[in-house]
Structure 1
Amino acid sequence: MESIGAGEVLDKAVDHRALAVAVIDISADVRRKSHNDTGVRPLSNGVLEILRVIESHPGITVAEVASRLGRQFSNVSVQLRELVAAGLVTRIRDAADKRYVALHPTAESQRIKALLEGSWAEALESASSRLRPEEREQIAASLPALQRLASVLSEPE
């Protein structure tokens, strides 16, 4: 008789399709419901993803951003110009190797990040207040695993 590993049992217990759909729906609704009150000019999902990678990895290169997001270098470069023009990202050229350009978030980018994250939290808090207490406890208990899952997913492939 063949034994089943713990990972196999867990994989069968999680409906990954349902999880993916729920995460995408939550993300879209949180962004839609929270952005209006921030006064921040709307950023496309693609541009916001680039900005979040740069904020998480200051000093990263355009090629590294493209790799992390699984996008073409040229597409990331075009969107990056938008972020630089908006004053949200700076490019710092390496003095020793002029081809190497490090990307850094600006103070304005960090201000907007804090503002958006606060607004997202308010949208989730408002919605979760309509859940049953045991549902809120389940969400709280799952947060470390979801944060770890997000970290694993963000790793370059």
Structure 2
Amino acid sequence: MDEHDLGLADDLYDVIGLLRRRSGRLVGTPLPHLALSGAQLELARVVRRNPGITVAEAARVLGLAANTVSTLVGQLVTVDVLVRERDTSDRRVVRLELTATARAGLERWRDRRAASTAAALATLDAAEREHLAAALTTIARVAASLTDDAAVGAGAGVPAGRARD
């Protein structure tokens, strides 16, 4: 790994963060009456895209431990964002669904965010849009390769038991 790779990594996070912050300021939050954490919102989005997903499946999608997702599920059930439903064919399996109110809020938010981003994309020429579309595959590969095995110097200088970002 060279200095260029480190700079590219920083630039990638800077650009993704800028996109998320500007979009957030423009379209707001999906459920403004709730102060959802980033992790709670990500789980709600996963359930919106995958109705009936299990906790274990959601944990795999999010790259989190199942017990962490289970805690998030409990929090979202308490604030009426999620409901747990028993699988009809296997009563031991619990499936996650959004409440009707949460689904409507998330879909309105998604539509606002998609429309505002599509308007910005429309200012690009065809070649720029194709370049961006191709880059998404590469970014997804980078994200998929971010595993504990790929960590270099993870935890260096972080005392045991302390959280890392």
Specify if TM > 0.5: yes
CA distance in 1, matches of 2:62, 2:30: 28
Q: Distance in 1 between matches of 2:134 and 2:16?
A: 14
C-alpha separation in 1, matches of 2:97 and 2:29: 26
What TM-score results when the alignment is normalised by the length of structure 2? 0.62
The two structures have a TM-score, normalised by structure 1, of 0.65
1:96-126 CA-partner distances (Å, limit 9, x unpaired): 5332101122322221112212332465478
1:67-78 superposed matches below 5 A: 67-78=60-71
Counterparts of 1:85 and 1:109 in 2: how far apart (Å)? Answer: 13
Following superposition, the deviation at residue 63 of structure 1 comes to 1.0
Residue 134 (structure 2) aligns with: 145
CA RMSD of aligned residues (A): 3.4
In structure 2, C-alpha distance between the alignment counterparts of 1:69 and 1:37, rounded to whole Å = 19
| Deviation, structure 1 residue 76 | 1.0
Of 81-90 and 35-44, deviating more is: 35-44
Q: 1:139 to 1:110 in 2, by over 3 A?
A: farther
Q: 1:19 aligns with which of 12, 34, 43?
A: 12
Give structure 1 stretches of 5+ with no counterpart.
1-11
Higher helix share: 1
Tell me what 1:111 maps to. 104
Equivalent pairs, count: 137
Structure 2 unpaired stretches of 5+: 148-165
* Partner residue, 1:86: 79
Matched, 1:43 2:32: no
Identity rate of aligned residues, in percent?
25
- Higher-RCO chain (CA-CA 8 Å, sequence separation at least 6): 1
